[in-house]
Amino acid sequence: MTRPTELDSAVAEIIFLGPNAQITLGELAKRTRASVQEIGESIQRLSMLGYPLNPKSDSIERLPIHTINTQELEASLSSWRIGRRIEWKLHVHSTQEEMKKLCQEAPDGTVLLAETQDFGRGRLGRRWFSPLGGIWMSLLLKPSWPKSHQILPLALGAALTKAIRATTGISTSLKWPNDVTIQSRKVAGILSEATYEGDKLGSVIVGVGVNANVGSTTLPKGLDRIATSLSHELRRDVDRNVLTLRTLEEMDKTYRIFEAGQGTELLNDVRQVCSTIGRKVEVTTTGGHFEGEAQQIGGNGQLIVRLRNGETAQFYAGDTVHLR
């Protein structure tokens, strides 16, 4: 075993996908070729990710978990391309990284879901906390539409906003570029990573993270002020199968429109759910912080801001804070 992810993944699979509800630490050590101490450390890490484990003197007992049911998903999904192949894993480092391994051979529209990640990645190099109960997935897109993909992640953010709204009834909105928020607190986000051949778009790996059934007390300190979860807002768990299905179907519609070259339609969708337009904002980019009023989203997905000095700036990437 080279890094904790592989050991944790093997331990979690033996415990949660195996036939027995209880297993000794010695047996786990033997089957993973790790020491009993390493097994103890692994169990601690898995507990921090929300796996319900009941330690006994020399063994470990599992409590039931509800995983995403990919068979049900495949059977119910009615889509054009997204979800034509669906992969599921219990525990990974990051689904983005797993998808990169499949990228060459996997078809356009492949989806890879994991129950937990120990190194979920967010935008701008941030970490994305990914315990049990969320929806953590990556979509592989291989668009044939040769134009810039700028509008695509933004429009997929709009699709996610709509899917969450339709499934839960919660009033969600999209904060530019692609944070789904509930009353200013972030509930979901999108990380889009593209490859180019010259200026032609190659493949795009779209990472989607939704804090679905994540207890607000599980969120790391400090994050609970700026982030929320659907179960916290609703005071009950959401059906992750239903929400995943709806999200894939909404994203599939968006992808189809993108491939048909109808960017204006996508732009209208984004403008409809985007709460940034008309707000006083602070935009943070690699070039610094800028304050002004967000006026519109341009045809390439850029945020058009009238700065405090009266000049107009166009931001193609960055992060926004709504000031009021």
Taking CB under 6 A as the criterion, the residue among 122, 194, 242, 296 binding ligand BTN is 122
88 forms part of the interface with ligand BTN (CB under 6 A): no
DSSP structure class, residue 274: B
Q: Which is nearer to ligand BTN, 16 or 129 (CB)?
A: 129
- Length of the chain, please? 324
Q: Which is nearer to ligand BTN, 23 or 113 (CB)?
A: 113
Widest distance between CA atoms in the chain? 69
Read off the amino acid at residue 257: I
Q: Which is nearer to ligand BTN, 95 or 254 (CB)?
A: 95
Q: Which is nearer to ligand BTN, 137 or 281 (CB)?
A: 137
d(CA 10, CA 216): 28
CB of 137 to ligand BTN, least distance (A): 6
267 forms part of the interface with ligand BTN (CB under 6 A): no
Taking CB under 6 A as the criterion, the residue among 32, 117, 211, 247 binding ligand BTN is 117
Contacts with 98 (C-beta within 8 Å, 6 or more apart), sequence order: 87, 89, 92, 112, 114, 138
Read off the amino acid at residue 88: W
**Contact region with ligand BTN (CB under 6 A), list: 49-57, 68-76, 113-121, 280-288:** 113-121
**Contact region with ligand BTN (CB under 6 A), list: 121-129, 151-159, 195-203, 212-220:** 121-129
CB of 190 to ligand BTN, least distance (A): 6
Contacts of ligand BTN in 183-212 (CB under 6 A): 189-191, 207-209
Q: Which is nearer to ligand BTN, 176 or 258 (CB)?
A: 176
The values of phi and psi at residue 119, to 5°, are -145, 50
Beta strand segments in 84-197, E: 86-92, 111-121, 127-130, 135-141, 173-175, 179-182, 185-197
CB of 60 to ligand BTN, least distance (A): 27
Q: Which is nearer to ligand BTN, 22 or 184 (CB)?
A: 184
**For residue 76, what are the CA distances in angstroms to 23, 89, 133, 212, 292?**
35, 20, 21, 20, 45
298 forms part of the interface with ligand BTN (CB under 6 A): no
Which residue number places its CB atom closest to ligand BTN?
189
Q: Which is nearer to ligand BTN, 98 or 233 (CB)?
A: 98
Name which of 132, 166, 181 is nearest 243 in CA terms. 166
Burial label for 2, CB within 10 Å (0-12, 13-18, 19+), is exposed
Contacts of ligand BTN in 123-182 (CB under 6 A): 123, 126, 128, 130, 136-138, 179
CB of 98 to ligand BTN, least distance (A): 8
Contacts with 76 (C-beta within 8 Å, 6 or more apart), sequence order: 245
d(CA 72, CA 70): 5
Q: Which is nearer to ligand BTN, 25 or 315 (CB)?
A: 315
Name which of 276, 265, 318 is nearest 180 in CA terms. 276
121 forms part of the interface with ligand BTN (CB under 6 A): yes
83 forms part of the interface with ligand BTN (CB under 6 A): no
Beta strand segments in the chain, E: 22-24, 53-55, 59-62, 86-92, 111-121, 127-130, 135-141, 173-175, 179-182, 185-197, 200-210, 280-285, 288-297, 303-307, 312-315, 319-322
Question: Footprint of ligand BTN on this chain (CB under 6 A)?
Answer: 94-96, 117, 120-123, 126, 128, 130, 136-138, 179, 189-191, 207-209
